[in-house]
Structure 1
Amino acid sequence: MNFEFSEPEQRFIDRVRAFIAREAEKNYADEVMAPEREAHSQLADSPERREFCRQLAAEGLLGLSWPKEYGGQELPGIYDYFVNEELAAVGAPLIGKGIGIIGQTLIEKGTEKQKQYFLPKILAGEIEFALGYTEPGAGSDLASLQLKAQRDGDGFRLNGQKTFNTSAHFADWYWLAARTDNSGPSKYHGITLFLIPMDSKGISVSEIETMACHRTNEVFFDDVRVSAADVVGEVDKGWELMCQALDYERFTLFTYSPLRLKFDALVATLRDWKVAGQAALETDHVRRKLARLGSKLEVAKMHQRRVICAAAEGRVPTVESAMCKLYCTELGQEICDTAMDLLGPQALLSEGVDEAPLDGRWESALRATVVDTIGGGSSQVQKNIISRRHLGLPNPN
């Protein structure tokens, strides 16, 4: 297994870095490149960030792995990952759900009408999506979702609730999973995927503020009418498509660069820090802690490279991405925990408070890393995937 990038791959990475450097000179750079937003830096949730996505499109950095017949470049899927890794390194919006989860699924299972409408808009960076999966009683056990889609003539009527839908307050379209049949042989049957406008009559969005001070949402459906043309794939057979989409999400969204940024920030903070009157970096205790984290950071990078290698071989990196997501998000927590231990009570000071290390970033980062272990499938879900698909252990359910 070769973890080194080839010469063409490195040239491509240099090209992405050059694009980011040009964008960093623009007036909107402070809004667009904001690593302090933690995981929410990936969102195109402002006019400036949406314009940045259009610039990504103009640079030809969207849809790299798509077939040429749909406007793509037919490059290996790892090129999408290269783009996201470099964007994550500066806290810019990632290439997003449209290119991966929605776009790839539509290419494979969408109708011609859906492809003609959505794919050009996705490639142009002109459209944003929200994922409608989680419900109050269906989070880690996603197949237990109960939002009802009842037949109504040639369409359906939706009634129920979704929760923790992060992009619902600014998205244009909703990628929604609903229950169309309760009489099937298992809970995995009877789930259907829909693509519907977020401004559909009967949809209401209510804010939820997380412990990380980032917005997510509850979404309520009151007799929302959708047509048969809004169905993605086959009625009652949406579960497999959802699983494939979640694999792609873990592959692209959980990048290595934010971990490196956190570790480098901790080392930089400790350079000017004193412990009992002694320079922190000169104490054996601090050096051992940092050496341990540095070693784990290399392990995180290798997990990332294993995902890339699996994708390069044409496999869906289900197990590799679950391992990477689990390890990297929990390492993010450990880095912040270590900062709290080494910096002492001052690390608990919030942004804007005098004498707060890194202007309060450690306190906010600690809260954000807890949320990271939940999004895209909780740590417990990743462990179940690894135990079943890699170790061959029985399903705990």
Structure 2
Amino acid sequence: MNLDFAPEHYAFLEEVERFLDEHDDPEVFDVSRENMAQVVDTPKRREFMRRVGDRQWLGMTWPREWGGQEADGTYDYLLNEALAARGGPQIGKGVGIIAKTLLAHGSIRLKEEFLPKILRNEVEFAIGYSEPEAGSDAASMRLRATRSAGGWVLNGQKTWTTSAHFAEWYWVGARTDPEAPKHHGITLFLVPLDHPGITVREIRTMGDERTNDVFFDDVLVSDEYVVGEVGRGFQYISQALDLERFTMFAFSPLRQRCDVLREYVRTAEVDSRPLAADPVVRRHIAWLETEAEVARLLGLRVVAASAKDGPPPTTEASEYKLYATEFSKRLADASMDIGAPGTQLRVHTAEAPMSGRAESTYRYTVLDTIGGGTSEVQKNIIARRKLGLPRSF
């Protein structure tokens, strides 16, 4: 596997970096929001992503007939990593999940309605898979969709829907056949979030971010907004989650957190002795740097696998997501330990080690191991699909 990029890839990355330098704005780029920096939740962030769309950088891998350039996936990867490195909004759900599923399975009507808006960044989506009784097990969802004249009536609840309080459309899975086996009988819908039967209630996270419970009360959805075939939603969700596990958990923030810790160790002193001279600390930093390189290479394996014809790189995406997010927790633990008691001070506290980044990272990284499927879910995917192990009972 060739892990190097072509000259045209490097030229594109240079162009992206110049663009980001020209549009640098602390209200758009904020590394202290950690992984949640990707969310396009303010007018300034939406305007910035509109400008990215104006450069024709959104949907570069799409077919030309739908506004794409039929470029290889390396361009999406480089753009997303450059945005993530600065704590900026990323290509995320619209381009990386919704559009790719619509291109593969959506009707002509859905493509014509949504794909141009996604390219221009004129629409934001929330994703509704998790439920109170199902957690990260999408196959266990219970939100009911009952057949009605010309459509479906949805009743039930979703939870941990991060963007529901500002997005326009809800990409939601519901059970349309309660008698079907667990992994069947689920259908994907696109639902406007301003529907009068939808109620959004705030949940505050330990990372100081907002997510939401979403309640459905007789929400009528037209057949026109069914994504793909009725009853095949779980298969579509599984494919989309492969994309989410990679695009929503970029490597660049991990690299940046490593750099912050290493710079602190290089300059700090304990009892008038350089912290960098401590052999235990040196060994710990060396191990973390090694793990960071492993995470980077696992990510590049996903990029390489995506470039091949065939199904999405399911196990590669799960391996990357599992390793990268668990490494992120270990890095956060190390930052707290090495920075000592001062790391308990809140982020942006000037006198705190690393300006309080260790404290915010410690809180955020727990969330990363849950979104896109928990670490336990990733282990099960790898065990079954790559190692051929039987399902547990």
**Does the CA-based 8 Å contact 1:84-1:253 persist in structure 2?**
no
Q: Distance between the aligned counterparts of 1:63 and 1:107, measured in 2?
A: 11
Aligned: 1:266 with 2:261: yes
Equivalent position of 1:193 in the other structure: 188
The corresponding residue for 1:230 is 225
Q: Deviations over 1:327-347 (max 9, x none)?
A: 111111111111111111111
Q: Aligned to 1:215, which of 202, 210, 218?
A: 210
In the alignment, is residue 102 of structure 1 matched against residue 98 of structure 2? Answer: yes
* Helix, strand or coil at the partner of 1:55: helix
For 1:37-62, what per-residue CA distance to the aligned partner results, in whole angstroms no more than 9, with x for missing partners? Answer: 01110010000000011011001110
Task: Determine if contact 2:332/2:362 at 8 Å carries over to the other structure.
Answer: yes
Task: State which drifts further: 150-159 or 197-206.
Answer: 150-159
Deviation at 1:270, TM superposition (A): 2.1
Give the Å deviation of 1:252.
1.5
Match for residue 23 of structure 2? 23
- Percentage identity across paired residues of the two chains: 50
Q: Verify the 8 A CA contact 1:193 1:231 in the aligned structure 2.
A: yes
The whole-number CA distance in structure 1 between the counterparts of 2:261 and 2:28 is 23
AA of the residue aligned to 2:228: G
Kept after mapping to 2: 8 A contact 1:65/1:74? yes
Report the 3-state secondary structure (helix = DSSP H, G, I; strand = E; otherwise coil) of the residue aligned with 2:199: strand
Q: CA deviation at 1:89?
A: 0.6
The residue type equivalent to 1:257 in the other structure is: S
Q: Does 1:119 align with 2:126?
A: no
Q: 1:95 to 1:354 in 2, by over 3 A?
A: closer
Structure 2: which amino acid aligns with 1:40? M
> What aligned pairs does 1:242-391 form with structure 2 within 5 A after superposition?
242-315=237-310, 316-351=312-347, 353=349, 355-391=351-387
Shift of residue 33, structure 1, vs aligned partner: 0.8
1:78 deviation in Å? 2.3
Instruction: Report what 1:85 is aligned to.
Output: 81
Higher mean C-alpha displacement, 315-324 vs 45-54? 315-324
In the alignment, the residues of structure 2 paired with residue 351 and residue 255 of structure 1 have an alpha-carbon distance, to the nearest angstrom, of: 21
Contact residue 208 and residue 218 of structure 1 kept, 8 A? yes
Structure 1 distance, partners of 2:47, 2:132, is 34
Q: Assess if the C-alpha contact under 8 Å between 2:137 and 2:373 holds in 1.
A: no
User: What CA deviation, in whole Å up to 9, does each residue of 1:77-111 have, x standing for no partner?
Assistant: 22111110111110110012111211111112111
Question: Match of 1:154?
Answer: 150
2: CA distance between counterparts of 1:237 and 1:300? 33
Aligned partners of 1:251 and 1:317 also within 8 Å: no
1:45 aligns with 2:41: yes
Cα offsets for 1:332-375 (capped at 9, x unmatched): 11111111111111111113556322332211110100111111
1:129-155 alpha-carbon deviations (Å, 9 max, x no partner): 000110001123211101111112111
CA contact (8 A) 2:32 2:347 kept: no
- Structure 1 segments of 4+ aligned residues over 2 angstroms from their partners: 351-355
TM-score relative to the length of structure 1: 0.96
Gaps of 5+ in 1: none
Secondary structure of the structure 2 residue equivalent to 1:30: coil
- The 3-state SS of whatever aligns with 2:388 is coil
Task: State the Cα distance separating 1:271 from its structure 2 match.
Answer: 2.7
In structure 1, distance between residues paired with 2:379 and 2:74: 24
User: RMSD between aligned alpha carbons?
Assistant: 1.2
Alpha-carbon contact 2:124-2:169 (below 8 Å) kept:
yes
- 3-state DSSP of counterpart to 1:31: coil
Equivalent residue for 2:8? 8
Report if aligned partners of 2:350, 2:356 keep a CA contact under 8 Å in 1: no
The Cα offsets for residues 290-320 of structure 1, whole Å up to 9 and x where unpaired, read as 1111111111111111111111223421111
Amino acid at match of 1:129: F
2:12 matches 1:33: no
* Residue correspondences, number: 392
Asked if 1 retains the 8 angstrom alpha-carbon contact of 2:83 and 2:89, the reply is: yes
What's the CA shift string for 1:192-215, capped at 9, x where partnerless?
Answer: 100011101110100111111111
- CA apart distance, 1:275: 2.4
Give the partner amino acid of 2:72: P
The 2-side partners of 1:206 and 1:331 are apart by: 32
Distance change >3 Å, CA 106–CA 343, structure 1 → 2: same
Gaps of 5+ in 2: none
Q: What is the distance in 2 between the residues matched to 1:325 and 1:351?
A: 26
- 8 Å CA contact 1:180, 1:192 repeated in 2: yes
Does the CA contact (< 8 Å) of 1:208 and 1:217 recur in 2? yes
Residue by residue over 1:167-199, the C-alpha shift from the partner in whole angstroms, topping out at 9 and shown as x without a partner, is: 101101000100111112x11111010001110
Whether the aligned pair in 2 keeps the contact of 1:174 and 1:198 (CA below 8 Å) is yes
Equivalent residue for 1:137, pick from 128, 133, 137: 133
Name the aligned partner's letter for residue 77 of structure 2: Y
CA distance in 2, matches of 1:293, 1:359: 20
Deviations 1:256-307 (A, max 9, x none): 1111100100112223322233110111111111111111111111111111
CA distance in 2, matches of 1:351, 1:92: 18
